[in-house]
Amino acid sequence: MPYHLCIDIGNSRVKAAIIATQTSQIVSLHRTNDADLAWLSMALEQYKISGIALASVRLPDKELEFFLTNYPAVVMPFSHQTPLPIANAYLTPHTLGLDRLAAITGAYYLHPKQHVLKIEAGTCLTLDFLQANGTYLGGSIAPGLHLRLQALHQFTQRLPLVSLSDETDFTGNTTETSINRGVLWGMVAEINGLIDLYSQKWQPLTVVLTGGDAALLANKLKNPIFATPNLVLYGLHKILAFNHPESL
């Protein structure tokens, strides 16, 4: 069976997945701070890779690009010029994060012909909205949980840097727990409020939650959601298949 190698180079982490082309299932997943050429070499030897998709929100990694282009498979560097199965109505498409674009494309395949609100909780909290007719309208960007904790510490003189923890009670009784719960439950309230705003205009609305902090937030949101890990990688796989069906 052929496989796709999909690589997502984010702001703080690099994620790579081996995805079976016939089932769209992830069979191997790797996370690191930088491109791990040793793991990639192992993956390319172990699996029959028929296509490679690469998306990055950082500056180009010339060593990684050279490494991949010398492998005998279809290589698709994902860019703003890459054809997509969805229509993009974003007014400045060249500034749209490629991770956001890949994730909303993945949501399009998972929930066809539905109004989809994709929420990604990572370094940033991003929302992206896709109409049922397959038109991407845009969304919003706000600081993620860890950025909020860092900002409270860096832009004040006396507030400590607090590590994020899972809290069921929303009332803090120390400075540390007050910060933690204010950041965590403040984001929960923010997400719930935004879901309500979209729901007032678009019905029925399918809500998809992904990103590194999704597991922490999922059981605190009042709205029914689809928790979907690794949505960016799944979207890259589908975009690769859309552009290079010969890799399937």
The catalytic residues are 99
The candidate with the shortest Cα–Cα distance to 101, out of 57, 40, 163, 153, is: 57
Cα-Cα-Cα-Cα dihedral sign, residues 141, 26, 30, 94: negative
CB 189 within 8 A of CB 170: no
- Running DSSP on this structure, what letter comes out for residue 124? E
Question: Is residue 78 within 8 Å of 55, Cβ to Cβ?
Answer: yes
Per the CB < 8 A criterion, the answer to whether 31 and 15 are in contact is yes
Give CA–CA dist 87/122, Å, rounded.
Answer: 25
If one counts every other C-beta atom within 10 angstroms of the C-beta of residue 218, the result is: 13
User: Phi/psi at 51 (nearest 5 deg)?
Assistant: -160, 145
